[in-house]
């Protein structure tokens, strides 16, 4: 009895080690090792801890646009992405990340993020013909209304109030929380993962032009009450809304 | 085959006899390992004592090996653990054995005590055996406590902080004791040196001394016989009966009585090795840095119940938890053999003892469980890193999507999970729209309540609007939003209070 116990201890213990100490599950792994946040150089880790809550990495859905998104990456210039991450977008939930401005990421880490995000599009590049410019001044709201009726109303309702199953795109609280650039981005690349196509597909066979996009964004922006996020003093946003809202039709 | 035929054997025997005549080893053996025990005591339930000793032996051995590498200074301690984990061949295994050995030791000391309590072994004439055991329990806890400080990472801080808090409450000399423990007013290199001295010299020394006393008492006063219900302990007759029993029905501990101990210890050793191999060592986590308060630090298993008790009890009750409760526990434990010195031993005749054990295990068990799954601290990175499951994104309107973003950006998810992911400090919000209606949600967000901060000043009316419309959308498919107030009392306050204007604006 005693001898057997002893043997089995030796046997199991010995076996455990023979299995190769490198593969034992209890052995601490290099990636579990704590590193100061500024030393994290791994793109996936950086993205998953800093961005994934709001921007999908392609594996989940997210409330804001996905970053693993070749059509988006085809249109957004690298410098803009870099700057957006560093400074954030004032007045919206997009935070400031540059450590020089009180954020948590170093310049190098922002570079790793930008490179990593663009790498997602490698080999899946979206077509670049007829590509509208990423950013542009607002267009003509009246014309934009017509564009909306043609391109967007089927899903968002003729006045943008929303249809069954699709949300209103001119909800005033919504518009006061998003920047004009974001509206433009969404019109260009859509939210394919949620069922909104991009600029090529609103009207079959006829990609939306840069001008039309400016116009429709301009119309959306004109439906906003008060300033766009980050545009002017916060008091204007918080002040009770007394003026009648802009007439609908 | 006699010694005369073999010159070598015979001279070996001569040497052995020479040593024996001087050391009287046979006599010592007979008095210790060979001492007679009642046959009934060779029970599986009686193996916890030797298992505790095995744990302690392993702790000593692994501890010595660890001390070869460990540098007890604030700057080097952390690095030496990293060296053990990642460079030193099998260094991680050594750390893991020491860590799990310590956890096992605490658990098994506890089992041992429970068994001694339930089987009435603490009664006359073994009072002092019990008391030395109680002291050993506290020494074991102290070793485990000072041991986690050796890691000198963020978790270690929890231990030092609590240690300082407890000793700071000691009347009159509190401040001096804190000073003595920390080696100054703040936690630093001196603190580590002091805990190191406690952990490797003072406490193990004390344990060795008390184990010797404990074992000596076991030999002198005998192993408890396996109690029989109905048989009473009388001070006058107990010892005579016990000796008679040994005489009639006794056997030497070694070799006859040790079998089950060996098997139990073998199994324990396997369990410890398995834990070490499969789970591995703990930490080191984030390095200790006085400038950084890490709210996610957790103590080791033996003290998790303290952490959750501290978090569950209302503010200000720490004095009771850390001072009054331990004091009462010490008095009760040490006083036990005097409160119930004679009478029935068997637990079946002592229902109160069963109740006490069950209550203790339930309390510590539940508190430990709460500590393991413990939502006591917010998850600081949840807001930017925790994704939202698809079912909480699809079908949402643009303004509801903005609400989802606000739930991230305003760091609500550090405390609240959605779909089980996120902090656990507040309730899960996956179905909050089914249990709270819009005015209630607005009120909760603006005014906070319970442990939730008020957001009235940090959110614009549009943000409240978006946030609340998202929360309303958080409900099982095909259910309507909560219409009737789920909690009448809350609803009343909402209707009497002033609903925010902004929250009503928009589509």
Domains (range + CATH), chain A: 37-119 (1.10.760.10), 141-236 (1.10.760.10)
Tokens of B417: 């999970």
User: What are the phi and psi torsion angles at B388 (to 5°)?
Assistant: -105, 135
Task: State the best of B88, B385, B398 to mutate against chain A, taking most chain A CBs within 10 Å.
Answer: B398
Instruction: Report pLDDT for B506.
Output: 34
The answer to whether residue B438 neighbours chain A at the CB level (below 8 Å) is no
Q: What is the CATH number of the domain that holds B392?
A: 1.10.760.10
Q: pLDDT tens digit string along B341-398?
A: 999 999 999 999 999 999 999 999 999 988 887 666 667 778 888 899 999 999 899 9
Q: Are B365 and A24 in contact (CB under 8 A)?
A: no
B233: enclosing H helix or E strand: strand B232-233
CA distance B469 to B431: 13
Task: State the best of A94, A174, A232 to mutate against chain B, taking most chain B CBs within 10 Å.
Answer: A174
- A240 contacts in B (CB within 8 Å)? 501-502
Partner A, chain B 363-382, Cβ-Cβ below 8 Å:
381-382
Domain-located, residue B16 = no
Per-residue pLDDT at B68 exceeds 50: yes
SS (H, E, C) B236-296: CCHHHHHHHHHHHHEEEHHHHHCHHHHHHHHHHHHHHHHHHHHCCCCCCCCECCCCCCCCC
Shared-domain flag, residues B309 and B400: no
Task: Report which listed range, A109-118, A196-205, B217-226, B325-334, is most confident.
Answer: A109-118
Shared-domain flag, residues B312 and B441: no
The answer to whether residue B237 neighbours chain A at the CB level (below 8 Å) is no
Record: contact A1-B262, CB cut-off 8 A: yes
Instruction: Report pLDDT for B492.
Output: 36
Record: contact B506-A30, CB cut-off 8 A: no
The answer to whether residue B501 neighbours chain A at the CB level (below 8 Å) is yes
Mean pLDDT for the stretch of residues B44-62: 96
Distance from CA of A101 to the nearest CA of B (A): 18
Q: Which of B126-135, B388-397, B478-487 has the lowest mean pLDDT?
A: B478-487
Tokens of B496: 């009497």
Record: contact B277-A25, CB cut-off 8 A: yes
Domain edge (last residue) among B373, B395, B421: B373
- Local confidence band at B317 (pLDDT 50, 70, 90 cut-offs): confident
Mean pLDDT for the stretch of residues B207-218: 96
Record: contact B506-A172, CB cut-off 8 A: yes
The answer to whether residue B90 neighbours chain A at the CB level (below 8 Å) is yes
Domain-located, residue B4 = no
Shared-domain flag, residues B329 and B441: no
Q: Are strands B343-344 and B232-233 parallel, antiparallel or unpaired?
A: antiparallel
Task: State the best of A171, A182, A217 to mutate against chain B, taking most chain B CBs within 10 Å.
Answer: A171
Domain-located, residue B21 = no
Record: contact B461-A238, CB cut-off 8 A: yes
Shared-domain flag, residues B275 and B393: no
Instruction: Report pLDDT for B500.
Output: 33
Mean pLDDT for the stretch of residues B320-345: 90
Shared-domain flag, residues B342 and B447: no
Domain edge (last residue) among B373, B401, B423: B373
Shared-domain flag, residues B160 and B201: yes
Instruction: Report pLDDT for A93.
Output: 94
The minimal CB distance from A167 to the residues B82, B400, B460 is found for: B400
Domain-located, residue B288 = yes
Shared-domain flag, residues B391 and B436: yes
Give the range of the structural domain holding residue B303, as residue numbers without chain letter.
31-373
Domain-located, residue B2 = no
Distance from CA of B485 to the nearest CA of A (A): 25
Per-residue pLDDT at B486 exceeds 50: no
Record: contact B409-A54, CB cut-off 8 A: yes
Query: Which is more confidently placed, B294 or B281?
Result: B281
- Local confidence band at B82 (pLDDT 50, 70, 90 cut-offs): very high
Partner A, chain B 247-306, Cβ-Cβ below 8 Å:
258-259, 262-263, 266, 269-270, 273, 275-281, 284-287
Structural domain tally of chain B?
2
Q: pLDDT tens digit string along B402-438?
A: 999 999 999 898 889 998 888 877 889 999 998 899 9
- A238 contacts in B (CB within 8 Å)? 460-461, 502
Query: Which is more confidently placed, A125 or B57?
Result: B57
Record: contact A54-B262, CB cut-off 8 A: no
Domain-located, residue B206 = yes
Average pLDDT, chain B: 86
pTM, rounded to two decimals: 0.71
Record: contact A169-B382, CB cut-off 8 A: no
Shared-domain flag, residues B197 and B75: yes
The answer to whether residue B394 neighbours chain A at the CB level (below 8 Å) is yes
Distance from CA of B44 to the nearest CA of A (A): 15
How far is residue B408 from each of residues A178, B381, B387, B444, measured CA to CA in Å? 15, 10, 9, 17
Per-residue pLDDT at B163 exceeds 80: no
The CB-side HSE value for B403 (13 A sphere, CA atoms) comes to 26
Question: What residues does B449 pair with on adjacent strands?
Answer: B452
Record: contact A225-B505, CB cut-off 8 A: yes
Tokens of B456: 């009235």
Instruction: Report pLDDT for A97.
Output: 93
The minimal CB distance from A174 to the residues B92, B258, B399 is found for: B399
Tokens of A204: 């079959």
The answer to whether residue B466 neighbours chain A at the CB level (below 8 Å) is yes
Instruction: Report pLDDT for B3.
Output: 47
Distance from CA of A127 to the nearest CA of B (A): 27
Instruction: Report pLDDT for B286.
Output: 79
b/e burial code for range B251-277 (CB count within 10 A of at least 16 → b): bebeeebbebbbbbbbebbbebbebbb
Domain edge (last residue) among B324, B343, B373: B373
DSSP 8-state class, residue B320: I
Helix (H, G, I), strand (E, B) or coil at A97: coil
Q: pLDDT tens digit string along B437-448?
A: 999 999 999 998
DSSP string, B373-386: S---S--TTHHHH-
Shared-domain flag, residues B205 and B330: yes
Distance from CA of B313 to the nearest CA of A (A): 32
Token pair 């009072």: residue: B127
Domain-located, residue B10 = no
Across chain A, which has 249 residues, the per-10-residue mean pLDDT values are: 73 62 80 81 93 93 95 95 95 92 91 96 88 93 93 86 71 92 96 92 91 95 86 46 34
Instruction: Report pLDDT for B419.
Output: 87
Query: Which is more confidently placed, B54 or A10?
Result: B54
The answer to whether residue B423 neighbours chain A at the CB level (below 8 Å) is no
Domain-located, residue B292 = yes
Shared-domain flag, residues B359 and B388: no
The answer to whether residue B404 neighbours chain A at the CB level (below 8 Å) is yes
- B86 contacts in A (CB within 8 Å)? 28, 30, 33
Shared-domain flag, residues B163 and B116: yes
Record: contact A168-B385, CB cut-off 8 A: no
The answer to whether residue B385 neighbours chain A at the CB level (below 8 Å) is yes
Q: What is the CATH number of the domain that holds B122?
A: 1.20.810.10
Shared-domain flag, residues B431 and B366: no
Q: Which of B236-240, B374-378, B494-498 has the lowest mean pLDDT?
A: B494-498
Q: Are strands B417-418 and B421-422 parallel, antiparallel or unpaired?
A: antiparallel
- B399 contacts in A (CB within 8 Å)? 167-168, 171, 173-174, 177
Record: contact A48-B286, CB cut-off 8 A: no
Task: Report which listed range, A224-233, B172-181, B218-227, is most confident.
Answer: B218-227
Q: pLDDT tens digit string along B18-46?
A: 999 999 999 999 888 889 999 989 999 99
Token pair 């709210």: residue: B295
Record: contact B384-A54, CB cut-off 8 A: yes
Helix (H, G, I), strand (E, B) or coil at A20: coil
């Amino acid at each position: 009895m005693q001898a057997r116990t002893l043997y089995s201890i030796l046997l199991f213990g010995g076996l455990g080690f023979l299995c190769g100490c490198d593969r034992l599950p209890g052995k601490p792994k290099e990636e579990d090792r704590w590193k100061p946040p500024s030393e994290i150089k791994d793109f996936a880790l950086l993205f998953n801890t800093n961005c994934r809550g709001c921007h999908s990495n392609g594996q989940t859905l997210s409330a804001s646009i996905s970053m693993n998104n070749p059509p988006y990456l085809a249109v957004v210039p690298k410098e803009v992405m870099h700057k957006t991450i560093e400074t954030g977008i004032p007045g919206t939930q997009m935070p400031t990340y540059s450590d020089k401005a009180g954020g948590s990421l170093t310049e190098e880490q922002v570079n790793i993020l930008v490179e990593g995000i663009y790498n997602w599009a490698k080999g899946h590049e979206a077509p670049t013909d007829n590509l509208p410019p990423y950013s542009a001044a607002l267009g003509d709201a009246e014309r934009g209304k017509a564009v909306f009726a043609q391109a967007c109303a089927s899903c968002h309702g003729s006045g943008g109030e929303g249809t069954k199953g699709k949300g209103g795109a001119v909800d005033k609280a919504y518009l006061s929380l998003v920047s004009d650039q974001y509206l433009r981005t969404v019109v260009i690349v859509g939210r394919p993962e949620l069922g909104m196509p991009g600029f090529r597909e609103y009207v079959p066979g006829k990609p939306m032009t840069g001008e039309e996009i400016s116009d429709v964004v301009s119309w959306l922006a004109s439906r906003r009450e008060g300033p766009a996020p980050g545009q002017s003093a916060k008091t204007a946003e918080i002040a009770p809304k007394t003026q009648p809202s802009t007439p609908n039709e | 085959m006699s010694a005369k035929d073999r010159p070598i054997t015979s001279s070996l025997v001569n040497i052995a006899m020479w040593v024996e005549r001087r050391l009287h080893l046979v006599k010592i053996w007979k008095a210790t390992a060979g001492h007679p025990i009642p046959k009934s005591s060779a029970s599986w339930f009686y193996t916890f004592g030797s298992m505790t000793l095995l744990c302690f032996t392993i702790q000593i051995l692994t501890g010595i090996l660890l001390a070869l590498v460990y540098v007890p200074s604030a700057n080097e301690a952390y690095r030496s653990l990293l060296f053990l984990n990642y460079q030193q061949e099998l260094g991680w295994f050594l750390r893991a054995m020491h860590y799990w050995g310590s956890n096992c030791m605490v658990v098994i000391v506890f089992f041992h005590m429970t068994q001694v309590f339930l089987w009435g072994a603490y009664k006359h004439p073994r009072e002092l055996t019990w008391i030395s055991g109680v002291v050993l329990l506290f020494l074991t806890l102290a070793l485990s406590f000072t041991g986690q400080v050796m890691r000198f990472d963020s978790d270690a801080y929890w231990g030092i902080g609590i240690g300082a808090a407890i000793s700071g409450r000691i009347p009159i000399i509190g401040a001096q004791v804190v000073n003595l423990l920390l080696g100054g007013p703040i936690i630093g290199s001196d603190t580590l040196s002091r805990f190191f001295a406690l952990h490797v010299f003072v406490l193990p020394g004390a344990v060795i001394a008390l184990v010797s006393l404990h074992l000596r008492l076991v030999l002198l006063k005998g192993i408890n016989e396996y109690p029989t219900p109905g048989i009473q302990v009388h001070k006058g007759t107990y010892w005579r009966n016990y000796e008679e029993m040994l005489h009639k029905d006794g056997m030497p501990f070694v070799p006859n009585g040790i079998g089950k101990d060996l098997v139990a210890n073998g199994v324990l050793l396997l369990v410890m090795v398995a834990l070490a191999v499969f789970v591995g060592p703990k930490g080191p986590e984030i390095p200790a840095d006085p400038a950084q308060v890490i709210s996610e630090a957790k103590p080791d298993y033996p003290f998790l119940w303290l952490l959750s008790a501290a978090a569950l009890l209302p503010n200000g009750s720490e004095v009771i938890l850390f001072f009054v409760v331990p004091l009462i526990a010490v008095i009760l434990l040490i006083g036990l053999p005097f409160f119930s010195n004679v009478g029935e031993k068997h637990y079946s005749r002592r229902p109160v003892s069963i109740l006490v054990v069950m209550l203790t295990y339930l309390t510590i068990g539940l508190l430990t469980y709460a500590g393991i799954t413990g939502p006591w601290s917010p998850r600081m990175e949840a807001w930017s890193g925790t994704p939202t499951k698809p079912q909480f994104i699809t079908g949402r309107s643009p303004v509801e999507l903005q609400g989802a973003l606000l739930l991230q950006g305003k760091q609500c998810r550090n405390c609240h999970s959605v779909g089980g992911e996120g902090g656990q400090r507040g309730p899960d919000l996956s179905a909050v729209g089914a249990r709270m209606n819009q005015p209630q949600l607005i009120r909760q967000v603006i005014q906070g309540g319970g442990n939730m901060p008020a957001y009235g000043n940090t959110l614009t009316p549009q943000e409240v609007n978006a946030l609340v419309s998202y929360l309303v959308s958080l409900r099982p498919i095909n259910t309507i939003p909560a219409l009737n107030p789920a909690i009448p009392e809350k609803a009343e306050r909402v209707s009497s209070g002033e609903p925010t204007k902004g929250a009503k604006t928009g589509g």
